[in-house]
A and B are shown apart, each in its own frame.
Chain A
Amino acid sequence: MTFQPAGAATIAAKTPASETARRNQPLQSFDLLVGPLSFSQAARRGLAFYLLSDGIAVWLATTGLVAQAFVLLGLSRLLAIAFGWLAVGRRSARRGLGAVRRPWLEALLYLFTLAVVAAANGTGSFAASLSGFPASQALRVSAATAIDAAVGYLTVQGDGFFRVVTRGLLSLLKGLEALLTLTPWPVLFAVIGFAAWKRGGPMLLAVVWAALGYLGLFGYWAEALQTSALVLASLCVCLVIGIPVGILLAKSPVSRAIASPVLDLMQTMPSFVYLLPAVAFFSIGKPPALIATVIFALPPLVRLTCLGIEQVPLHVREAMQAHGATPLQTLLKAELPLALPSIRTGINQTIMMCLSMVVVAALIGGGGLGYNVLFALQNVQYGEGILAGLGIVFCAVLFDRLAGSGRKGGA
């Protein structure tokens, strides 16, 4: 067991500046040792986790990746400690549930751990493995290659499907664009002005006309309409996908557990990353721009629809049921109407996120105001860039005030 202090010393020596690390070090090595014991709190589910991690570690060790196997073991112990901790806290709240302890299994695993660790120590790679994380270039490259292959395969195999989607999206976009561009500008002024008047009175009318006037006077009219068409088309797709999915998530905890990380991924993954696959699937132009926009803008709508439906009080559902409502009737007559404010907020969020994507979308041929910004940046024209950027802001103002969540005064 001499390796333990040695490992600790290595880390301490490597990071002398980090006072916290040194203070925590003895505790961590101790936990690493008693990991299996702390883990005895984690009950059955934890046991499965433990067996899995150790199994993978053994497999790694047999394929020669001893250092990685050791790191995995260490990590799994730390995780187990954390989970064991959680389990203790939770169980004290409801004692007697799932308290299955298997001391002999713990002991066995502990011995096993020590054996594997000792083996790793024998190779001498242990100390080295702690000073820098044992990265595997090959692993990353092979994963990336696999993804490339998958994208390539899908591009070929799904060609027909992607073609149909592309055509559908394109016709939606073209239709909206035609509707907007073929309408004479005075008519648009009048219609939007009227909507603003109904919604917020003369004050809003003034704001809306000022924004429209800016777009017109500075020559962004056509681009603004293109951008609006892209935003509206994305919104349509988002609504068609987002609301049903939101309802599904509210109804089924399983699908929520699955979808939640996917939604997180969609929101946090930098949009440039999926811009390229989108191009691979849907070729260059507006459809991939639209798809990238939808991926980015969909999560808030899904989440807020789900939230709105979840927030419908139980007694309202009960009352609907008690009077003989079918699940569909409950949804349409009680849940959706009560979730409407939340869904409206979701729509507003989605519109704003669509607008924030227009510059990125311009990179792959989304056109519109985003292209103006992009062009100005590429040619180092600060003035042009800022003016076009302002154009996007005014578009956002128009959308927000007219299609917003309705929190603003007025009717």
Chain B
Amino acid sequence: MNAVPKMLFETSPAAGLSKPVVSCRDVWKVFGHRPTVERILDDLRAGRIDGERARKDHGCVVAVNGASFDVYPSEVFCIMGLSGSGKSTLIRHVNRLIEATSGDILIDERSINALDARALRDLRARRIGMVFQNVALLPHRTVEENTRLPLELRGETEAATDAAVQRALAIVGLSGWEDRFPRELSGGMQQRVGLARALAADADILLMDEPFSALDPLIRKQLQDEFRRLVKTLGKTALFITHDLDEAIRIGDRIAIMRDGRIVQTGTPAEIVLAPVNDYVAQFVEGISPVHFVDAQRIMVPPARYAIDTATGLPVAGRDTRLDRLIELQTESGGPIAIVEGATVVGAIGAREILLAMRGRGERQKETCA
């Protein structure tokens, strides 16, 4: 488990530097009798009614509860939550398969709420590709015909379509399968067709609604890595829904954790794992090994503890060295590691610090309990 790809520790490539591609601003979705929903919406916003009360007293279901997030260009943004947490509902707001009760969805900083039917179709056909958990291929069409669907729908020329379809199928590794029908393919391959269909339209935003959940673990892992690589090389921006934190950590640049329609924490995988905001998130990250997330800065002690003056003769490491590397250094030399910045020793790490870091979760739980 947790064979985490290297880029994980980086912050999101463009976060904070460029403008978000997709933004949700205080999005609410309340299902129920429309007048009732409108009547109780203000109370819901103000917190005078909670989801439980809304359901019991008013027969309304609060699916999305004031969700806000930004997704930056070329970023993979994971929304993680258990079933019923509203994540699938939320992602459907981005291409308006579901209309928000209130709140704004912005694509390239322009609200899509006001788009008319034609403009919305255009947005869906050109900017946003979507992949579904149950694949949703058309059973009466071949792989090739399924892949060409979005281009066909927007009235692209035959030649342009053919080229795009071939390219998309090649990217997902399905060249040579064009004339098969979906039922002739395995689950994993069907999902590749789903992905090819989304890629063929050359949309720059990909909405992935639990695409790999129904696959067996090995195929899932393989597709996760492939997906991540593919999105990065093609420079796509992706919203990825999952109920599996391992998957979110493996794939996401940033992760938003949802519970009962509310986003409880947003951050990089390291932030989520190392600093869960509450017990709920802490419970999720309990099983995640810290070796890929903890760095030297976090656990080093003053050099005096190990009576270190200079780094001579000792293994050295920078502040940002990760725990897995520190373990290697420590076990090779058997002694303490000097943490250096330029030429000066700023800290030291011994076996004790490493062991405590590995046990770190226990300490954090103690903190949260206290």
What residues of chain A have their CB less than 8 Å away from a CB belonging to chain B? 94-97, 313, 315-316, 318-326, 329, 333-334, 337-338, 340
Contact = CB atoms under 8 A, between A and B. Distances in A.
A322 B128 contact: yes
Contacts of B149: 320, 323, 333
Contacts of B201: 323
Contacts of B56: 95-96
B122 A318 contact: no
Contacts of B139: 338
Contacts of A325: 121, 153
B138 A323 contact: no
Interface in B88-141: 95, 97, 121-126, 128-130, 132, 134, 136-140
A25 B204 CA distance: 74
Contact of B153 (A94, A324, A340): A324
Q: How large is the interface on B (under 10, 10 to 19, 20 to 34, 35 or more residues)?
A: 20 to 34
A329 B152 CA distance: 10
B95 A337 contact: no
B136 A324 contact: no
B153 A329 contact: yes
B244 to A, nearest CB: 20
A142 B11 CA distance: 85
A329 B153 CA distance: 7
B318 to A, nearest CB: 46
A322 B132 CA distance: 10
Contact of B140 (A313, A319, A320, A337): A337
Give chain A's interface secondary structure class: helix
B57 interface: yes
B59 interface: yes
Nearest to B139: A338
B154 interface: yes
Given A316-B136, A318-B97, A323-B149, 8 more contacts: A96-B56, A313-B134, A318-B136, A322-B128, A323-B124, A323-B129, A326-B121, A333-B138
A315 B124 contact: no
A322 B138 contact: no
A96 B59 contact: yes
B221 interface: no
B132 A315 contact: yes
B138 A324 contact: no
A76 B124 CA distance: 54
B136 A315 contact: yes
B150 interface: yes
Contact of B130 (A322, A326, A338, A340): A322
9 contacts: A94-B59, A315-B134, A318-B136, A319-B137, A320-B153, A322-B207, A324-B124, A338-B139, A338-B140
A68 to B, nearest CB: 39
Given A323-B149, A324-B153, A318 B132 contact: yes
Contacts of B130: 319, 322-323
A189 B130 CA distance: 53
Nearest to B95: A322
B150 A323 contact: yes
